[in-house]
């Protein structure tokens, strides 16, 4: 790694790890080679703290980058034509071996204008001024003794027009002061610092921050008291329901109560401060604008506000500040953290802006430009690039997820876009399932739920963990089962009771707790009992398994009758013999089957496959597909039914 790139990584990581300097992974950095011919710059959509020698940057030829700004014809093009053209030209200016498709920062042409080392950040203390009506006047006063004061950049549409404006103002500054500015402060945007060495640039960042911070009131630290868990859950359920009603989206909901949020909800003017639109592009793009103020927890009222935004062709809020409770984020797990960080910062900025004449937010025209700006759409796409499956963001719990069909179903649900809680008494096995999902579906989200399904306290604890992290429940798949291989006369009573406990009591406890949550949520749900073809047609020498699998189907029908009034559907999947990855079909069990039919152990699996109409071995994925179907809207009128996935072994009559 050459020194120029090493310097880029260092200044990026140093500033990017400081959460007071960056919001939501934003900001840009660049370094130029000694000969002035090349520039290393952060790639679009990369967090500064995550940059490394192998990823997150592009090397560009500076001459063609500067030519972009000089092109007078570009300025005459409409924005929707001009901005993609600029992106293409910046890509063509890249000169490196990067093959990932990473784009150079859309502000590359702006960086090319400035000195050797450039750091662009969105610090909260800077935002307090640039998002306030009288912020510029306060800045002028603070920097009045600087020989070379910061260059103020009035708000300009980001991208090409901002670079043109900066080029013009830098030229004027140079004419006046005989040098380029070391500091630029951009209205409704952030801070640019540029210097001849990396250490000088970092020192200058901190010097500016200290000065601006000295003029701000210290954030209040209140003795925050965590609200009652039932009140937090009620708000999560209300937000989930409202979002679904208004947008048709299932989303997890996260609760946040830190010092900034606690201080903000204690303000009498909290609602008024949130009545203004987004402060900056990041808040608009990632958080869909300012957080919604919620004075009362009422799903219908929240939904009405969201629908009003949608009707105005505005983005529905992703953040909700609930009076006396805290901040709630309704978003996919990949973006929830970014939205929370940006929104928490916005609450602090809005509080500070009161000192400087009030909040200065983006105008409707400025919002329209950003919403239609291809570069911001690209950045958000990178940040939210999760699967678009038919169960996207549904919250599911699968028991027995550590092996066999439980594992297959968990993998299938994750592939379909669901957030999957992996419930299993064998934590190590569940971790292996999580690793498998991460490998096959990298954008999927899972939670490990150590759970003994026969223990009510253990069951309740598993659901509490799901609700604390994701804020709801949409799907339960009861898959944890045992199959003691005994006939009637040889069945030990303890094995009989074990089968009843796991296969029936476990299903009952999990379903009871799930149903209570789904009823309170008020948006329906799905419960799937994984039964077996043995629940429809008895298996020889399989007394306990046959009994419990038949009972699972029948209780599912009863639950369907009970829960239908709440929009909760209950169905069963009855697989045939699935051999791959099964704990049931272990060598000992296969020997029992071989003895039962008078064949060799290696002949058992072909023997069972040969008994099917399709003569086709059943795979775990086949069972997962049936489960995904039953949980999807394609099966919205199916309840109390049993889907038999056995290649035609048993015909339901």
- Whether 383 shows a pLDDT value over 60: the answer reads no
Residue 371: which H helix or E strand, with range?
helix 364-371
- Give the integer Cα–Cα distance in Å for 514 and 556: 13
Interacting residues of 101 by C-beta distance below 8 A, sequence separation 6+ = none
- Whether 651 shows a pLDDT value over 50: the answer reads yes
The pair of structure tokens assigned to 376 is 């911001």
The pair of structure tokens assigned to 111 is 């960086």
The pair of structure tokens assigned to 466 is 């799901």
Decide: 234 and 521 in contact? Cβ < 8 Å: no
Question: Residue 537 in 3-state DSSP?
Answer: coil
Phi, psi of 54 (to 5 degrees): -105, -10
Residue 650 has what pLDDT? 83
Residue 378 has what pLDDT? 44
Convert the pLDDT of each residue in 586-624 to its tens digit.
888 888 888 888 999 989 989 988 988 999 999 999 999
Higher pLDDT: 25 or 207? It is: 207
C-alpha angle with apex 347: 133 to 150, nearest 5 degrees? 45
- pTM listed for this prediction: 0.90
- Give the integer Cα–Cα distance in Å for 240 and 302: 10
- Give the integer Cα–Cα distance in Å for 297 and 316: 17
Q: Order of strands across the sheet with 38-42? A: 57-61, 38-42, 28-32, 117-121, 190-195, 183-186, 151-153
Which of 25-29, 349-353, 542-546 shows the lowest per-residue confidence on average (mean pLDDT)? 25-29
Interacting residues of 234 by C-beta distance below 8 A, sequence separation 6+ = 297, 520
**SS3 track for 538-580:** CCCCCHHHHHHHHHHHHHHHHHHHHHHHHCEEEEEEEECCECC
148 among known catalytic residues: no
- Mean pLDDT for 373-382 is 50
**DSSP category for residue 504:** I
- Mean pLDDT for 315-342 is 96
Catalytic residue among 545, 589, 607, 608: 545
- Whether 384 shows a pLDDT value over 70: the answer reads no
Phi, psi of 359 (to 5 degrees): -75, 135
Convert the pLDDT of each residue in 429-471 to its tens digit.
999 999 999 999 999 999 999 999 999 999 999 999 999 999 9
Work out whether strand 319-322 and strand 292-294 pair parallel, antiparallel, or are unpaired.
parallel
Average pLDDT, rounded, for the chain: 93
- Tokens 């009545």, residue located: 275
Residue 375 has what pLDDT? 47
- Whether 553 shows a pLDDT value over 90: the answer reads yes
At 381, the pLDDT band (50, 70, 90 cuts) reads: low
**SS3 track for 221-240:** CCCCCCCCHHHHHHHHHHHH
- Mean pLDDT for 113-126 is 96
Work out whether strand 568-575 and strand 446-450 pair parallel, antiparallel, or are unpaired.
unpaired
Convert the pLDDT of each residue in 48-105 to its tens digit.
999 999 999 999 999 999 999 999 899 899 988 998 999 999 999 999 999 888 999 9
CA 281 to chain centre: 19
Decide: 28 and 107 in contact? Cβ < 8 Å: yes
Interacting residues of 375 by C-beta distance below 8 A, sequence separation 6+ = 44, 83, 87, 106, 158, 159
Show the domains of the chain with their CATH numbers: 3-214 (3.40.225.10), 229-383 (3.40.225.10), 395-582+618-645 (3.40.50.720)
At 224, the pLDDT band (50, 70, 90 cuts) reads: low
Convert the pLDDT of each residue in 390-420 to its tens digit.
999 999 999 999 999 999 999 999 999 999 9
Residue 400: HSE in the Cβ half-sphere, 13 Å Cα cutoff = 23
- Give the integer Cα–Cα distance in Å for 31 and 52: 14
- Whether 153 shows a pLDDT value over 60: the answer reads yes
The pair of structure tokens assigned to 417 is 């876009």
């Amino acid at each position: 790694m050459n020194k120029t790139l090493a310097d880029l990584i260092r200044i990026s990581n140093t500033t990017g790890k400081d959460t007071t300097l960056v919001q939501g992974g934003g900001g840009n950095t660049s370094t130029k080679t000694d000969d002035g011919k090349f520039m290393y710059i952060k790639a679009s959509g990369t967090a500064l703290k995550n940059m490394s020698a192998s990823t997150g940057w592009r090397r560009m030829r500076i001459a063609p980058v500067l030519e972009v700004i000089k092109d007078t014809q570009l300025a005459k093009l409409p924005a929707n034509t001009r901005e993609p053209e600029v992106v293409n030209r910046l890509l063509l200016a890249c000169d490196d071996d990067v093959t990932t498709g990473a784009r150079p920062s859309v502000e590359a042409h702006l960086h090319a204008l400035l000195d050797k080392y450039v750091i662009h950040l969105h610090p909260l203390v800077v935002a307090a001024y640039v998002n306030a009506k009288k912020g510029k006047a306060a800045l002028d006063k603070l920097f009045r003794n600087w020989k070379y004061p910061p260059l103020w950049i009035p708000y300009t549409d980001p991208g090409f027009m901002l670079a043109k404006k900066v080029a013009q103002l830098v030229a004027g500054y140079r004419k006046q002061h005989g040098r380029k500015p070391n500091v630029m402060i951009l209205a409704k945007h952030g801070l640019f610092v540029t210097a001849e060495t990396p250490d000088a640039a970092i020192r200058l960042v901190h010097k500016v921050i200290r000065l601006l911070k000295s003029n701000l009131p210290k954030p209040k630290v209140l003795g925050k008291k965590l609200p009652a868990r039932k009140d937090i859950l009620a708000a999560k359920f209300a937000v989930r329901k409202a979002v679904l009603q208004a947008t048709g989206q299932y989303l997890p909901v996260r609760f946040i109560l830190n010092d900034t949020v606690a201080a903000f909800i204690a303000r009498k003017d909290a609602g008024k401060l949130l009545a203004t639109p987004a402060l900056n592009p990041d808040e608009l793009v990632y958080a869909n604008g300012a957080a919604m103020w919620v004075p009362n927890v009422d799903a219908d009222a929240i939904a009405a506000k969201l629908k009003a935004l949608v009707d105005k062709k505005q983005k529905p809020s992703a953040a909700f500040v609930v009076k006396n409770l805290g901040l709630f984020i309704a978003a996919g797990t990949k973006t929830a953290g970014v939205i929370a960080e940006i929104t928490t910062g916005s609450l602090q900025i809005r509080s500070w802006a009161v000192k400087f004449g009030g909040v200065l937010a983006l105008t409707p025209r400025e919002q329209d430009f950003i919403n239609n700006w291809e570069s911001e759409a690209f950045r958000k796409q990178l940040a939210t690039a999760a699967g678009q499956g038919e169960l996207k963001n549904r919250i599911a719990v699968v028991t027995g997820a550590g092996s066999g069909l439980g594992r297959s179903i968990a993998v299938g649900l994750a592939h379909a876009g669901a957030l999957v809680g992996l419930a299993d008494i064998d934590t190590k096995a569940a971790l292996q399932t999580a690793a498998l999902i991460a490998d096959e579906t990298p954008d999927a989200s899972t939670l490990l739920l150590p759970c003994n399904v026969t223990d009510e306290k253990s069951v309740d604890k598993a659901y509490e963990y799901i609700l604390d992290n994701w804020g709801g429940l949409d799907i339960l798949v009861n898959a944890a089962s045992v199959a003691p291989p005994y006939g009637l006369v040889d069945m030990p009573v303890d094995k009989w009771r074990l089968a009843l406990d796991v296969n029936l009591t476990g299903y009952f406890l999990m379903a009871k707790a799930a149903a209570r949550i789904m009823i309170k949520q008020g948006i329906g749900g799905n419960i799937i009992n994984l039964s077996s073809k043995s629940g429809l047609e008895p298996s020889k020498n399989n007394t306990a398994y046959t009994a419990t699998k038949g009972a699972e189907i029948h209780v599912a029908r009863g639950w369907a009758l009970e829960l239908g009034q709440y929009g909760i559907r209950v169905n069963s999947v009855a697989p045939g013999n699935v051999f791959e990855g099964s704990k049931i079909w272990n060598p000992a069990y296969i020997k029992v089957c071989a003895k039962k039919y008078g064949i060799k152990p290696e002949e058992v699996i072909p023997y069972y496959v040969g008994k099917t109409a399709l003569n086709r071995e059943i795979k775990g994925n086949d069972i997962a597909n049936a489960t995904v179907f039953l949980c999807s809207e394609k099966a919205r009128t199916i309840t109390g039914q049993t889907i038999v996935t056995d290649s035609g072994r048993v015909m339901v009559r």
